[in-house]
Structure 1
């Protein structure tokens, strides 16, 4: 649809036909109304993991997880480097995601069920754990794949539901 704005001469306010149609369609199909804050769909959100080496206790296995939008990526990584030290860490995993907060919650939940210490954005493997960087990346990749599969299944179910009631 085009975004034509028609000026109502009687009231002096703008009338947006597309917004009116959108609100009616959302009401008909039971879709939640739009939030007032609009987001740019072209800004990608990233999820990442940094491997952290603790110099005071080298037997500890630590990882830092983060998520942010693309313009804030360098700033976020720099803040993490400032907090934990640039020499002690390296970028292990970074991928664009649909929702970084959801993936972060899934990762924290998975590792806390494995009896890991999860405080804030820090993941710590228990002592004498068999996890290393490769296993952590594989586990997070599997969790990301499950998240994508859930989103795909949701979209396909909604598509079939709308196709059935056309």
Structure 2
């Protein structure tokens, strides 16, 4: 099940491989069976303010998988569907935790953070591609922290049993 892309494995593949090694589980040929109602998704929408198009705005959201469409419809109804474009959506361990991390990161960069809206300062040349890179880096950092926590717990258990 490991996919090799241009000679390197993706983080997800390496993560899964280590799970199997840590817990001595042989990989299954069957697709994983998981309950989609417990998966949380975190996403970012690029928002265009028609009254002042030079403002750079993004809307962050999170919800469980069955509620994603309902959440997006509610956001589109509030801000207008033609004024928004989704640039990022990934499943995450905790949508609330990732949202807090993203808000803190941009608040520290002196951005205007109010509720779920992120606004770049007026003289910033930030665009959706740069925003996507920053959000992806924060998402990967969150995943690495989870991986580090699991490795730490495994090493602690291994000391007691081996």
Could you state the TM-score of these two structures normalised by the residue count of structure 2?
0.76
Question: Which of these residues, 66, 69, 78, is aligned with residue 71 of structure 1?
Answer: 66
Larger radius of gyration: 1
Give the distance between the partners of 1:64 and 1:122, measured in 2 at CA: 5
Q: Which residue of 2 aligns with 1:49?
A: 44
CA RMSD of aligned residues (A): 1.1
Give structure 1 stretches of 5+ with no counterpart.
Answer: 1-39
Residues 1-166 of structure 1: pairs in structure 2 closer than 5 A: 42=36, 43-166=38-161
| Unaligned runs of at least 5 residues, structure 2 | 1-33
Show CA shifts across 1:83-108 (max 9, x none): 11111111111011111111101100
Deviation beyond 2 Å, 4+ runs, structure 1? 40-43
Aligned residues, how many? 127
Taking CA–CA contacts closer than 8 Å with sequence separation of 6 or more, which of the two structures ends up with the larger relative contact order?
Answer: 2
Q: How many angstroms apart in 2 are the aligned matches of 1:120 and 1:143?
A: 19
CA-to-aligned-CA distance 1:22-61 (integer Å, 9 cap, x gap): xxxxxxxxxxxxxxxxxx8543110000000000001100
Match in the other structure for 1:37: none
TM, length-normalised to structure 1: 0.74
How far apart are the structure 2 equivalents of 1:87 and 1:41?
33
Structure with greater helix share of residues: 2
